[in-house]
Amino acid sequence: MSWNTEEVDKIGLEDQIRSGTLSREGHALFQEIMTSSLRARGLLYSPDADDIRQEVYIQAHTELGQKEIEPGTFAFWLLSLAKYRCLTHHRDAGKRRYVSVEEYDDHTPEQLYDDPTLTRANRATIAEINEAIPNLTRKSRRVMELYSLDYSAKEIAAHLGIDEATVRSHKRHAVSRLKRLLDK
């Protein structure tokens, strides 16, 4: 964590959220707090991460209008709001699971996609695709794996250190190659 409670108190983040007007420093600090909370709960790269940040901000602004927070505890109170919102998101997301790149690197695709709700036909299709995937280039495989985990082209580009257009090109070539392999 790069932020601390003294910094939160020093720039008056509580008062800024209460008033609904964040300074640059306040916005950056709020983002750091939310990033640490989202990362801890595996939601940092979720497509819903921005929505969760916004919901926490709105909830904090609303609740601060109705209550006083003890001095020195605001950062922890804000973290608890973020934690609650993340847990609610996990609960509401049902079976859908977002996996961090680090977590993905520690698992095989079979472990990540072992879903008991898949039908036999879907399992056969997945098995065929899994057999065809080794025929892709290493970069194309990696790009497709990250796409399958709901990462955007921008996030994939940042993670792999390549241009966004290159990510889309790898995807296009991989899909084309997989179609040819599966049509055989």
Q: How many domains does the chain have?
A: 2
Please report which confidence band the pLDDT of residue 34 belongs to, taking 50, 70 and 90 as the band edges. Answer: confident
Hey, is 158 helix, strand or coil?
helix
pLDDT at 95: 42
pLDDT at 99: 47
| Sequence-separated (6 or more) residues with CB below 8 Å from residue 162 | 139
> Which structural domain range is residue 118 located in?
101-183
Does the model's pTM come out above 0.85? no
Q: Which of 65, 92, 119 is the last residue of a domain?
A: 92
Residues 13 and 68 in one domain: yes
**132 pLDDT more than 90:** no
Residues 61 and 30 in one domain: yes
Q: Which of 67, 92, 117 is the last residue of a domain?
A: 92
Residues 111 and 62 in one domain: no
Q: DSSP assignment of 91-127, as one string?
A: HHTTT-----HHHHHTS-HHHHT--TT--HHHHHHHH
Residues 118 and 176 in one domain: yes
| Sequence-separated (6 or more) residues with CB below 8 Å from residue 86 | 37, 38, 41, 43, 52
Residues 83 and 115 in one domain: no
The enclosing domain of 163 has a CATH number of 1.10.10.10
Residues 84 and 108 in one domain: no
Residues 74 and 111 in one domain: no
Please report which confidence band the pLDDT of residue 150 belongs to, taking 50, 70 and 90 as the band edges. Answer: low
pLDDT digits (tens, 9 = 90+) for 49-107: 888 888 889 888 888 888 887 777 788 788 888 888 887 776 666 544 444 545 444 44
